[in-house]
Structure 1
Amino acid sequence: MLADLLIPFITIAIAEFGDKTQLSVLLLSTRTGRHLMLLTGVMSAFLIVDGFAILLGAWITDVVPANVLKIISGAIFLLFGITTLRDLDGDEDESRTFDDSPFLSGFLVIFLAEWGDKTQIASAIFATQYNPWMVLGGTMLALFMLSLSAIYLGRFILRYVKRRTITLAAGLIFMVMGAVILLL
């Protein structure tokens, strides 16, 4: 049961670390002193987007046979790994406008950027394999820690860890997860 929490937590944390979403949160945090409002907006959006994906993932296990889901899940993780590695040289610097409300700005940036994102789909896939509540807990804990880091420590961390290294690790982890799912 602990794996139901830890596997999504570790995978999502590594995959999202240094992602454009986290960089957007970092950018927003430099434009406000109301960091708690920003964090609340960001986490509210993550809860809606990833919560929906996890509900869908848990529901689909009642409709689609487990062996079919296993093949689809493994293939999707492999695809995420490949596309993540292809983005190693991509430019993900996207400027965002900042509204007067840090809550609204954080919410809108995450809500609009995360639909169909690899971590949202990964959360749904995890919910097909693990306890959905534990998946939600692991996913939200990872996103909370990363968002908090982006808001308070982001610039410090990015000074010492190259974005390319983080992207490479995320891509490889997705590919390993895909291979493990397909082989087990």
Structure 2
Amino acid sequence: MEAFLTSTVAVAIAEVGDKTQLLSLLLVARYRQKWPIIVGIIAATLINHFISAWFGNWFADWLPEQYAGIIIALSFILIGLWVLVPDKIDDDEAECSCYGALCATFILFFLAEIGDKTQVATIVLGAQYASVFWVTMGTTLGMLIANVPVVLLGEKLMRKVPLNLVRYIAAAVFILIGIATLWWQA
């Protein structure tokens, strides 16, 4: 259960202000069809994060045990520092207007997550916890917690959320997880 809860909280916080949230706003503005967009987010995230959690789990098994904990802890700290850098949506990621809302959302979200902070976090969480299933479910729920309100409430919500404050909190959470992991390794 710890893997699920940690994955959910870490990704939900890290996702605020991320480019996939900006992508959610763009998709709602373009298609105005909220439920196909939400289903596209779920499908893309499940597949992308399952692969990421599996890779992290495989990588942790491959690493020598005496280094795995330190690398995982340092990865959390680095993700925390990375979260401090604001994301911008790439114009190329928004060019799927010929597809329906569901297809466009699936493709764009899957591609936007490649190399994204939340994907890297999912890899690290997959390495830290032995359960690919619970990490995938947690990170997917975290993505939904952060993105569904954006889809449903749009720009009204984004104007009221102090993104810099949330970014600092997210960075602190990742850094604290990294420090705690280092502490447990000692």
TM over 0.5: yes
- Aligned-partner SS, 2:32: coil
- Aligned-partner SS, 2:30: coil
C-alpha RMSD over aligned residues = 1.8
Aligned match of 2:88 in 86, 92, 95? 92
1:93, CA displacement in angstroms?
5.1
Q: Is the 1:54–1:124 Cα contact (8 Å) retained in structure 2?
A: yes
Paired letter, 2:28: S
Alpha-carbon displacement from aligned partner over 1:57-114 (angstroms, at most 9, x marks no partner): 22223322333111111111111222222x2xx5625442333411122122211111
Q: Is the 2:28–2:154 Cα contact (8 Å) retained in structure 1?
A: no
The alignment-based identity, stated in percent, is 31
Paired letter, 1:62: D
Other-structure match for 2:51: 52
CA distance in 2, matches of 1:169, 1:74: 18
Deviation above 6 Å: which 4+ runs of structure 1? none
User: In structure 2, do the counterparts of structure 1 residues 91 and 134 end up closer, same or farther at CA, with 3 Å as the change threshold?
Assistant: closer
Q: Is the 1:24–1:94 Cα contact (8 Å) retained in structure 2?
A: no
CA distance in 2, matches of 1:132, 1:28: 29
CA distance in 2, matches of 1:172, 1:51: 25
Other-structure match for 2:136: 136
TM-score by length of 1: 0.88
- Aligned-partner SS, 2:61: coil
TM-score by length of 2: 0.87
Q: Is the 2:18–2:87 Cα contact (8 Å) retained in structure 1?
A: no
Unmatched tracts of structure 2, length 5 or more? none
CA distance in 1, matches of 2:160, 2:32: 24
1:39, CA displacement in angstroms?
1.6
